[in-house]
Amino acid sequence: MEQLSSKIYKKEFVEAFAGDDSGTLTPRQTPGMFYSKAKPTPVERVTLLAWSDELAKELGIARPTNQHEIDILGGNRVTDSMYPYAACYAGHQFGNWAGQLGDGRAITLGEWEAPDGKTWELQLKGAGLTPYSRRADGRAVLRSSVREYLMSEAMHYLGIPTTRALSLVSTGEPVLRDMFYNGNAAYEPGAIVMRVAPSFLRFGNFEMLNARKEVDNLRQLVDWTISRYYPHITGENKVLDWFKEVVDRTARLMVEWMRVGFVHGVMNTDNMSILGLTIDYGPYSFVDNYDPNFTPNTTDLPGRRYAFGKQPSIGYWNLGALAGALLPLADKDQLVATLETFKDVYWTAYYAMMGRKLGFDQVSQLDRDLISRFEKTLADIQPDMTIFYQLLIELPLSVENEDAVAEYFKQALYDDLTPEQKTALYTLVSSYLERLNTNKIKRSDSQEMMRKANPRFVLRNYLLHQAIEELEKGDDTLFVKLQEAIKEPYSDKFSEFFQTRPGWASEKAGCSMLSCSS
């Protein structure tokens, strides 16, 4: 295990590409530049609030034990071998071209080589002004930082590709934030997350270069990305082959989000990872009641572009934007044909995933029809998604009548069922049990498959909200408990959290709806 301060950091991205080395933090356009040097702005006092021991062990990083080391986690200290920078990228935001964006409150310190030879970028989120901060301050608050720290790790333990979070620190400084952009700004405690990924490259990095007609730079970035992160791809068709793999990874990521009920909330192209990772945790949420039209993002109303059920189609749309950025390097028709493979990849993986959630030994066309009936019925009844699928695991193999079925699933319901809903649920469950009886695997094997596909614990927004409120008062009891619960989402060890969203959380700010500043 190495100390953060004694490591010789790599800086292969910086060495490979042109950047603005001036260190000037004044917000500006940076044509021709892949990044700009941006040293973190020191804060009052860096205090360690949370540390991921498991991730640190994987990376070979020793837990900081003195202020000298802790200061690195808050940007108060930069070692000699680090080269702090903010990346330049663009993006489509809510479907509209936004032009240059870039790391407005994220600063990459350097690249850490782990004991297994893999390299990880260490990045501080909330470490101060960068040339891409535009009209913002480059800071982050405790509220958004707790959310990013916990959810990054929660997604990892759910088995979903994601960026990771190594540490959470407080800064000792207040930060002014208008949570809902409604003129009610207030000071909140400042905080910084150190997040970790093999790369933070986004679709927007490639869009930026194409938009500026920097074709040589675009080719250089594509070649570098392929050689570094997709080294198995070679040959004269490597751009198309690489794009196909990005399409595959993105499609499968969407399937995983749908599996657990995760809603990203702000799927702009600058928030789409070129490695197929979940990246940038802002106004995210898990669905409580099963509603395909649910969006947790106030900025996404009333259009609900990024609603739960629309995420796969937005993933496809965003890949189309990436394909457009690659037009100078590949044939248009072939790019379009490659993009169109998204649908087959997604639906094949989606039905296979749903088969595991439902405990089917295989998925036939008839099973696909049954899966569609599940989606339609759940959207109408809107039970708690997590609890419903948990109850389904232990469903008796015979049911008496409509009332008995409604009573069995009562724990998952937010509202009493109408007579029509009772009939629909009973009919669905009866068809499901008929299908289970045709399984060629044991019931116990089917149930084990379901337990691995259906989390029992998800990091609900109301729990996060409670933990944040308590942390702001100096009480970390719930925060610590959630840190442990996220590591075992498929176990029944944390049954105290196995309940529907409480009534008070339905309307409370920060529980039901959030903004992009979250």
Output the known binding site: 102, 104-105, 125, 137-138, 195, 202, 271, 280
Question: Which H or E element spans position 332?
Answer: helix 332-358
- Where do we find the tokens 């094949």? 348
The interaxial angle of helices 332-358 and 443-453, nearest 10 deg, is 130
Count of Cβ atoms closer than 10 Å to residue 134 Cβ: 13
Please state, in angstroms and rounded to a whole number, the distance separating the CA atoms of residues 178 and 115. 43
Residue 144 CB-half CA count within 13 A: 26
Q: Are 265 and 284 in contact (CB under 8 A)?
A: yes
Largest separation between any pair of C-alpha atoms in the chain: 74
CB burial string 484-516: b at 16+ within 10 A, e below: ebbbebeeeebeebeebbeeebeeeebbbbbbb
Show binding-site residues for ATP.
Answer: 102, 104-105, 125, 137-138, 195, 202, 280
Q: Are 325 and 210 in contact (CB under 8 A)?
A: yes
The set of catalytic residues is: 270
Indicate the SS3 state at residue 185: coil
**CA-wise closest residue to 123 among 138, 105, 139:** 105
Residue 308 and residue 293 in contact, taking contact as beta carbons nearer than 8 Å = yes
Which tokens in the block code for residue 194? 């150190």
Measured CA distances, 502 to 2, 130, 292, 479 (Å): 45, 40, 20, 18
User: 293, 473, 487, 300: which is closest to 379 by C-alpha?
Assistant: 293
Among 42, 40, 39, smallest CA distance to 22 is for 39
Instruction: Judge whether 276 and 342 are in contact, CB under 8 Å.
Output: no
Backbone dihedral angles phi then psi of residue 382, each to the nearest 5 degrees: 55, 55
Work out the number of other CB atoms within 10 angstroms of the CB of residue 388: 20
Summarize the annotated binding site for Mg(2+) as residue ranges.
Answer: 271, 280
Tell me whether residue 422 is exposed, middle or buried, using C-beta atoms within 10 angstroms of its C-beta: 0 to 12, 13 to 18, 19 or more.
middle
- Inter-axis angle of helices 385-393 and 443-453, nearest 10: 160
Query: How many CB atoms within 10 Å of residue 187?
Result: 11
Q: Judge contact between 271 and 280, C-beta under 8 A.
A: yes
Q: Which residues on neighbouring strands pair with residue 177, listed in sequence order?
A: 186
Mapping DSSP to helix (H, G, I), strand (E, B) and coil, where does residue 323 land? helix
